[in-house]
Amino acid sequence: MKPVKAYRNSDFMNGKEARALRILAEYLEPKSRLEAEGVEDTIVFFGSARFAPGSPWYEAARALSFRLTQWSKGLDPAMQRRFVVCTGGGPGIMEAANLGASEAHGRNVGLTISLPHEEGGNAYITRELSFHFHYFFMRKFWLSYMAKAVIVFPGGYGTLDELFEVLTLVQTKRMTKRMPIVLFGTEYWGEVINFDALVRHGTIKAADVDLVYRTDSVDDAYDWLVKQLAEQALGKPGGML
């Protein structure tokens, strides 16, 4: 009987000794597929998986994703895969954003994660751009690495974790690219995160509050994001394309 090659040895590959190889695979395999599909940058939507179709937050995310996808498709044809909508791939706000991009006939990315009650990716993710992760930190890497803007709808622990990960990277300048961040839902975010209290207690600077843009309007979020992306990512002053 021939000995089994190490990379075909499932006991080894699934054991703790090969953890570094599994982590590396969750970097290299998405990188290879994203490059093959020509996806270089994204607009990331975060938010609760618990909002159902028809709810105000769901429909706002769907509409905003639709409009941003239409805008990105109207750029120079040589940049047709710029600013691709990307989500965590699940239900709720994630599904709404993938749906909006799909309705605009745009490609979109879904990055799902293994959970005890995993439902799988939603039905609106572009098939070639559907990824599934074991490690949360590798999933968060890919959510942040290609992002040129982040839109955060109301959500729970996972959404807060994702928001503060991005805010920390921006505040500490470990993320050197400009990163427009929208907090959608002023009443919700005003209750959940008291930024003014953080300033008052001296744990952040007053300028750190301005790392986020707060709004309740799809029109306002769209206009602000397009202006930011045009100026910062495309180098077009005044938001003109």
CA dist 119 and 128 (Å) reads 19
**CB-CB contact of 45 with 99 (8 Å):** no
DSSP state of 4: P
**Which candidate, 177, 189, 241, places its Cα nearest to that of 214?**
189
The answer to whether position 135 is within a domain reads yes
Phi, psi of 149 (to 5 degrees): -160, 150
pLDDT at 118: 62
CA dist 103 and 80 (Å) reads 16
pLDDT at 88: 97
Q: Pull the structure tokens for residue 137.
A: 């930190």
Phi, psi of 8 (to 5 degrees): -105, 0
**CB-CB contact of 198 with 226 (8 Å):** no
Q: How many domains does the chain have?
A: 1
pLDDT at 239: 37
Question: Helix, strand, coil: what percent of the chain each, to 5?
Answer: 50, 15, 35
Size of the chain in residues: 241
Residue ranges making up the domain that contains 147: 40-185+212-232
**Which candidate, 84, 8, 2, places its Cα nearest to that of 41?**
84
The answer to whether position 238 is within a domain reads no
CA dist 161 and 114 (Å) reads 17
The answer to whether position 31 is within a domain reads no
pLDDT at 105: 96
pTM for this entry? 0.93
Instruction: Report DSSP letters for 44-61, one per residue.
Output: EEE--TTPPTTSHHHHHH
The answer to whether position 6 is within a domain reads no
Helix segments in 37-156, DSSP class H: 56-73, 93-103, 136-145
The answer to whether position 222 is within a domain reads yes
The answer for residues whose C-beta is within 8 angstroms of residue 211's C-beta and 6 or more apart is 167, 170, 171, 181
Q: Along the 241 residues of the chain, how does pLDDT read in single tens digits?
A: 788 898 888 998 999 999 999 999 999 999 999 999 999 999 999 999 999 999 999 999 999 999 999 999 998 766 556 899 999 999 999 999 999 999 999 999 999 999 877 667 899 999 999 999 999 999 999 999 999 999 999 999 999 999 999 999 999 999 989 999 999 999 999 999 999 999 999 999 999 999 999 999 999 999 999 999 998 877 654 333 3
The answer to whether position 197 is within a domain reads no
State the CATH number of the domain containing residue 107.
3.40.50.450
The answer to whether position 99 is within a domain reads yes
The answer to whether position 44 is within a domain reads yes
Dihedral sign, CA of 133, 134, 140, 141?
Answer: negative
Q: Pull the structure tokens for residue 111.
A: 């990055």
